[in-house]
Structure 1
Amino acid sequence: MMRRIIVPLDGSTRAEGALLPAAHLARATGGALFLVRATMLPMEYAWISADTTMILADAMEAEQKEAQDYLNHVLTFPCLEGLGVSTSVVQGDPATVILEYAQQEEGDLIVLCRHGKGEAKRWLLGSVAQKVARHSQVPVLIFHEEDALPMLSTNWGMSVLVPLDGSELAEEALQPAIELSQAFSPADTATLHLLCVLPLFVQYGVTDKEEPPLMHEAQRYLKELEERLLRECPPTLHLHLTSSLRCDIEVAQAILDASAKGHLADQNIPGCECIAMATHGRKGLARWAMGSITERVLSETKRPLFIVRPTSIRKMHSGFHRFHEGDSKNGKTQEEWQQPFVGLF
């Protein structure tokens, strides 16, 4: 359940675009918001030598005060009325402090708007969003600066597109996607479209004769997955499911087309308001690396992108950090710890 929601802000109105959907999520889940503002040394003071520490300290204190004053102003926004909201100003590299803050506050979700930028001395949320999405251990919901988010009313529902490659890792985006759709939809409803893209690359050895059996396997997979989701769905939830299969050498483009146009092969499906993806799924039936696909979709989509880190990947990541903290009791080398991360997003 997404109840502890982290919202990074950089002082720009574009970054503030994440506040409305984050507030809606908090109300839908009975959760709270945690607003964080990262501060760095103002550019105009970068030339100051170590001998002028007092001037530097004054500059940093002024920056901290300005950031806190800004967050206090944000607290007056109408969309936050009645919600539990905490604010923090943290000094350091924006992406790093956002990730550390999310861990410290035991966040369930990070919501941000990419490409937000203020004055020249401010940090750019475009690159920060990409770094946060790549390394976050909790789900990240990213809105584009050009998102025209519909009015959040009881008459509006969010249809979520979930790309799958046949792996259990990719499927870990399903349950969070259902929760997200439910939070943005009329009471007790959720709408998902399951998309399986088969990348028929020559190097994979797929020939024209082998294509139909592979497609048959993918179609069977989608059908069985739909049946399982409906079977496991709580009786109080009305889950609307559709699915489609596409063969395309450009997996990311197929996902982008499906979300924007809703036209797949000889099927016509409604476009989806959001894309939900796991960051890694490389042993599935289609054998495409979900991580690199996620990165391309993030860079090109104009729709909200919901990125989920699979549990097994989070555990490997934790093991990697334990190595750096001196936990070498298993006798593993640094290279052995790093090996599982080859090819990750």
Structure 2
Amino acid sequence: MYDQILYPTDGSEPAESVLDYSLRIASEHEATIHILNVADTNQDSLTRIQGEVIDVLEREGEKIVNEAAQRATDRGISVVSEVRQGTPSTSIVEYSQQFDIDLIVMPTHGRSGLKRFLIGSVTERVINTAEAPVITVNPDRDRPLTYPCQNLLVPADGSRGAELALREGIAVAKATGATLHLLHVVETGSLGPDARSVLKEGELTERANTIMAEATETATAESFDAVESEIDYGSPAKKIRTYIQENEIDLAILGTHGETDFSRYMMGGVSAKIVRTSPIPVMWVRESESSE
């Protein structure tokens, strides 16, 4: 399923904590892992050593990728490593296109910290522009990382993004033998208890049933039987996190339909809240421009 996996790293502790997870995915799918470090040319990294101008960041990058590549080699995983100069997000996406990368795995934040991730970070830009799916891993999580996943969650809300996520989720679940969980949350957090009671019998519940029925039908049409589905009411982010904990979910898959959608997520929407607090990796799937 995934033949070429890209692991961008800046050598920071958050990035290093994600390396083992990337190697597990590569091993499971017998994939080649590409280890990339981008020497950020927006920084003044030049200094003079023994009379020669040396790019300190590039030399540091060589050390970073060589150490990571050795860990991959020790596990018997095919590896390609490279250091490039440029803007990190642009270089990562260009590399993924050049080498037909099937999956990118990276931390939610690196040296710059989580706050920068939420608005304008390297990770956000990669999610917005890469055609390959991107798995983001919160290095500050409490739970251990598991792959191949045993329980996989796709939140279904009837959007185009959710359709993309479901398609990818079905493929991942079939490849790993995981149980596919479908969850639709009827957002009622801003309504009073009486209104919520009425809505449970009203049009929101009817729409929720339709969305879940269509998602389940899509999964079963792929000869895929291991499906669990649930409809809940309340705050979507909270209900999704609760479902993750109660059902031992290993991986969540969400869809995004380009910069507009993800920019909205970054301004405090459901997906931003999930990314901030998710105890598990989250895969982002974006529709390619060629198919839009």
- For Structure 1 versus Structure 2, the TM-score category normalised by the shorter chain is 0.7 to 0.9
Aligned equivalents of 2:12, 2:107: Cα separation in 1: 10
Taking the TM superposition and a 5 Å limit, the aligned residue runs for 1:271-290 are 271-280=248-257
The structural deviation recorded for 1:190 is 1.9
Taking the TM superposition and a 5 Å limit, the aligned residue runs for 1:308-319 are 308-311=285-288, 315-316=291-292
The structural deviation recorded for 1:220 is 4.0
Q: Assess, with a 3 A threshold, how the Cα gap between structure 1 residues 70 and 208 changes in structure 2: closer, same or farther.
A: closer
Taking the TM superposition and a 5 Å limit, the aligned residue runs for 1:51-200 are 58-60=53-55, 62-77=56-71, 81-117=75-111, 127-147=121-141, 148-150=143-145, 157-182=149-174, 185=176, 189-200=177-188
Taking the TM superposition and a 5 Å limit, the aligned residue runs for 1:215-226 are 215-226=205-216
The structural deviation recorded for 1:253 is 2.8
The structural deviation recorded for 1:290 is 7.2
The structural deviation recorded for 1:45 is 5.2
Note if contact 1:280-1:290 (Cα within 8 Å) is conserved in structure 2: no
Aligned-partner residue type, residue 163 of structure 2: E
Aligned equivalents of 1:92, 1:220: Cα separation in 2: 47
Which of residues 232, 237, 254 in structure 2 aligns to 1:252? Answer: 237
Aligned equivalents of 1:29, 1:144: Cα separation in 2: 22
Q: Assess, with a 3 A threshold, how the Cα gap between structure 1 residues 58 and 233 changes in structure 2: closer, same or farther.
A: farther
Give the TM-score normalised by the residue count of structure 2: 0.78
Question: Could you say which residue in structure 2 is the equivalent of 1:243?
Answer: 229
Q: Across the two proteins, how many residue pairs are aligned to each other?
A: 273
The structural deviation recorded for 1:279 is 1.2
Aligned-partner residue type, residue 294 of structure 1: S
SS in 1 for 2:5: strand
Note if contact 2:72-2:78 (Cα within 8 Å) is conserved in structure 1: no
Aligned-partner residue type, residue 275 of structure 1: A
Q: Assess, with a 3 A threshold, how the Cα gap between structure 1 residues 45 and 218 changes in structure 2: closer, same or farther.
A: closer
The structural deviation recorded for 1:12 is 2.3
Q: Assess, with a 3 A threshold, how the Cα gap between structure 1 residues 213 and 39 changes in structure 2: closer, same or farther.
A: same
The structural deviation recorded for 1:84 is 1.6
The structural deviation recorded for 1:5 is 0.7
Q: Who wins on radius of gyration, i.e. which is larger?
A: 1
Q: Assess, with a 3 A threshold, how the Cα gap between structure 1 residues 42 and 99 changes in structure 2: closer, same or farther.
A: closer
Aligned equivalents of 2:163, 2:254: Cα separation in 1: 9
Question: Could you say which residue in structure 1 is the equivalent of 2:38?
Answer: 38
Aligned equivalents of 2:196, 2:75: Cα separation in 1: 59
Query: Which one scores higher on RCO, CA 8 angstroms, separation ≥ 6?
Result: 2
Q: Assess, with a 3 A threshold, how the Cα gap between structure 1 residues 91 and 177 changes in structure 2: closer, same or farther.
A: same
Aligned-partner residue type, residue 105 of structure 2: V
Note if contact 1:113-1:125 (Cα within 8 Å) is conserved in structure 2: no
Aligned equivalents of 1:290, 1:9: Cα separation in 2: 24
Aligned-partner residue type, residue 164 of structure 2: E
User: Which structure 1 residue ranges, 5 or more long, are not aligned?
Assistant: 263-269, 282-288, 317-345
Aligned-partner residue type, residue 105 of structure 1: F
Give the TM-score normalised by the residue count of structure 1: 0.68
The structural deviation recorded for 1:303 is 1.6
Residue by residue over 1:119-165, the C-alpha shift from the partner in whole angstroms, topping out at 9 and shown as x without a partner, is x9xxx87832233223322210111113433565xxx7431111111
Aligned-partner residue type, residue 91 of structure 2: V
Aligned equivalents of 1:111, 1:77: Cα separation in 2: 16
Higher fraction of strand = 2
Aligned equivalents of 2:154, 2:135: Cα separation in 1: 14
User: Which structure 2 residue ranges, 5 or more long, are not aligned?
Assistant: 259-263
Aligned equivalents of 2:17, 2:174: Cα separation in 1: 21
The structural deviation recorded for 1:78 is 5.5
The structural deviation recorded for 1:182 is 4.8
